[in-house]
Chain A
């Protein structure tokens, strides 16, 4: 279980001047030291101007974050505490922004879900957490709304993160912003 403690975080070795890129170092269980990058990117969609996607992980040669890799950190609590601290700093500098986390797979979504659920009492002083489910509309004729290609058209519906929802009932998307 990830325990967030904002007083126990790694030092940043690089912070971009607009607070959207951070680099820090973590020790792995195999004794290697790895540089991790945290990056907040405006979703490439003009319809969602204030939503920033959180990506983190080691970066490959072209500098792109590999957020699919599964690393064994010596201190995962400290890694995630650092990421949350950087998120808070990013939001303080962009108070109208909302951070979005798209669990790239069930494993990662499960991790975020359990992290938020386990730490909500400590985190609620700093951030509000939103979970997003997708629903399809039932039409009056008994059919469901379809997309242009004939598939069921699902719409995102955000709600305050339900801390009683367990990890077998994950949200599809997670968002958070400053509690101010």
Chain B
């Protein structure tokens, strides 16, 4: 990772620490509902969730292998 990007990440982590005191003020009235999310709507039970996560893990592993391959090429 480039130093400039790492510096940005470090800076944001500092802001998060400083924002800790303001958390309640900024977050207390923020509630996001996503029960109409396409993904959650279509997974009905634990078995389907397990199957989905198994396929997701395979897809992620394959995507990681593809990205390594692309870098080597």
How far does the alpha carbon of A173 sit from the alpha carbon of B43 in the complex, in Å? 14
Q: Which of A26-34, A38-46, A138-146 contacts B (4 or more CB under 8 A)?
A: A38-46
Q: Are A89 and B9 in contact (CB under 8 A)?
A: yes
When distances are taken between beta carbons in the complex, the residues of chain B under 8 Å from A172 are 38
Alpha-carbon separation in the docked complex, A14 to B55 (Å): 36
Are A17's CB and B60's CB within 8 A?
A: no
- The reply to whether the CB of A95 lies closer than 8 angstroms to some CB of chain B is no
A-B pairs with beta carbons under 8 A, tally? 144
Interface mask (A28-65 → B, CB under 8 Å = 1, otherwise 0): 00000000010101011101100101010001001111
Q: How far is it, in angstroms, between the C-alpha of A45 and the C-alpha of B41 when the chains are bound? A: 9
State whether A53 and B67 are in contact (beta carbons under 8 Å apart), knowing that A14-B22, A48-B43, A155-B42 are contacts in the complex. Answer: no
Q: How far is the CB of B19 from chain A (nearest CB, A)?
A: 5
Measured between beta carbons, the chain A residues less than 8 angstroms from B40 are 43-45, 47-48
Q: Within 8 Å CB of A88, what residues of B?
A: 9
Q: Taking chain B's interface residues, is the majority helix, strand, or loop, or is none over half, making it mixed? A: helix
Say yes or no for A121: interface residue by CB 8 A criterion.
Answer: yes
Binding site for B on A (CB under 8 A): 6-7, 9, 11-17, 19, 21-23, 37, 39, 41, 43-45, 47-48, 51, 53, 55, 59, 62-65, 85-86, 88-89, 92, 98, 100, 102, 121, 124-126, 128-130, 132, 134, 154-161, 172-173, 175, 177, 179
Known: A16-B23, A124-B70, A132-B39. 5 other contacts (CB 8 A): A43-B40, A44-B33, A45-B43, A100-B37, A156-B43
